[in-house]
Amino acid sequence: MIERSLVLLKPDAVKRGLMGKILTRFEDAGFKIVGAKMTWIDKDFGKRHYADIAERRGEKVLKVLLNFMTQGPVMALCVEGINAVENIRKIVGGTEPKSALPGTIRGDFAHISFAYADKENKAIENLIHASGNVEEAKVEVALWFKESELHSYKTAYETHTF
């Protein structure tokens, strides 16, 4: 099952200079980056991406999330591989960095808790977004990338030449 997933390196990952380390995690796991771009989103675009957050978590959560996501550039990636959606989520770790397992991106590079973020009235700075399921991935990839921005190529592992 070759799948594609959207991965966003959020403004905190960009500011902390973690983009290369995070990309390496996916490539080391055998995933292929088929689309990549850095962009600074506005709140209207953020609302399209997080369309269901207000329903699920409330308007306050949406507001602090949009404030966070628009405070700096975001690196958007389309990542491809076998069972990409599920396996990328494992690499990323739990949504709350404080609870994310060591060895995951959030577990290794972030430590903020939901309680602290709520106390400070800010979004949970958890470095990264990854599509939650295959259908969500299709919608998100189409929102963030034009088809002409996605590339098909063979890696050295796929062609067995080094």
Q: Which of 49, 111, 129, 151 is catalytic?
A: 129
Are 49 and 10 within 8 A, CB to CB? no
For the question of residue 49 being annotated catalytic, the response is: no
E-assigned strand segments in the chain: 2-9, 32-39, 74-82, 128-130
Q: How far apart are CA 110 and CA 156, in angstroms?
A: 32
CA-CA-CA-CA torsion for 77, 78, 79, 80, nearest 10 degrees?
Answer: -170
Known catalytic residues are 129
